[in-house]
A and B are shown apart, each in its own frame.
Chain A
Amino acid sequence: MPEHTPADHRTMIEISRVTRSYGAFKALDDASLTIREGEFFSLLGPSGCGKTTLLRMIAGFDNPTSGTIAVDGQPMDGIPANRRPTNMVFQSYAIFPHLNVEQNVAYGLKRLRLGAAEEKRRVEEALAQVSLTGLGKRGATELSGGQRQRVALARALVMRPKVLLLDEPLSALDKKLREQMQVELRRLQQAVGITFILVTHDQYEALAMSDRIAVMFGGRIAQVASPKEIYQRPVNRQVADFLGGMNFVKAEIVEENGASLVVDTLGFGRVRTDKPAAFVRNGKAATLGIRPERLRVLWDDAKAKFEVAGRVVERHYFGEITHLIVEIPGLENPLSVTETNDFGADDIPVGAPIRLAYDPDALVAMAD
């Protein structure tokens, strides 16, 4: 676990065995999850995997068919959305069109009867947090997409919730603004210390912002771990594939003990790797994965302790990197390799013989 994970903090959200069925179809299937106080947690998965369903049940807009959700130790069964200590930033932002920015942000405060001065102070503070100072009198219909997103954020933050829920808050923004907002959102979360739960289908967004990520497929949670762990040690091929390119190599288990695995492969020979925590043996067959950037081109006479040799069959140029497709004798699929262009990978001719160095630690074993 990386050190910035607030691992020592107490549990903020406890999701136990939650299922949400629509008739025979399970939008969410027996999901269990613990989210810690002050954590930036992401729900990552392809469209339709049940991310929004889970988020809406935490917010109280929907109820589990079975299972329970507890927020800060309190079971949420039967508690409606307006009495939960959570606030949401909607995918559509849901800015009240008949109110101006200030009135939007103050909407939830009105019920708290703080007094005009205190209310104004909190609104100003929230607007400052999202860099909207001075736009308080703007009409809701006179805002850009990025500004709307900030108003939605301020309106939720001003309530000082225990948990802030964000449903794809950045997906409507263009690429540049989105990247800028990722940084800002992460900074804001660290400043206010509130637990954030972010729903996204963008793996880079999840990797860049989160303390921990839950990867979901078809209503099930496949893996919960830190971004690094998820990227480097995916529990199965589906997770590996969803988080960027991965080469898969057929392997056969020859030895398995507490912490390590020894497998035989055709291209990489006999390899000893760490056994992932979630590894469940399924016969003798297994799969080894290696990320394209963990294979390095060996130039001229350079030697490496671990290397494979093959032939370049395709080359794709991407500016700062080059993407090579390399055939290795014995492997049924060619390997993808990404190499930076500082040494001239963009000039390697197609058809040339090539040697690739790798680190056995970069080989991750997955149950088949």
Chain B
Amino acid sequence: MRHVNEGYIVCRCEEVTGKQLEDAYLLGAITSRQLKMKTRATMGACQGRVCRQLVNLWLSKKDQCADKGVEPLSYRTPIRLVTFGELAGEE
């Protein structure tokens, strides 16, 4: 891994940086759920739609043996921020 720039923002909504993920990981937040709880990454207004992939990818690179076989993905209802229904722009 070259040119690791951990200072910039990964989760845009909550302004969580790569450095914060790294620190949380070192403090024992080693699953994506723990990382999210610890840093608030993926928990902002977009509900992880932008950075969920990134956090999982980052973790899988950290933890090379992460299982990529058949798995149920961990999504929970609602997958859309329903409170934003009114914000969708229609009448």
> Do A and B associate with each other?
no
Interface residues of A (CB under 8 A from B): none
Interface residues of B (CB under 8 A from A): none
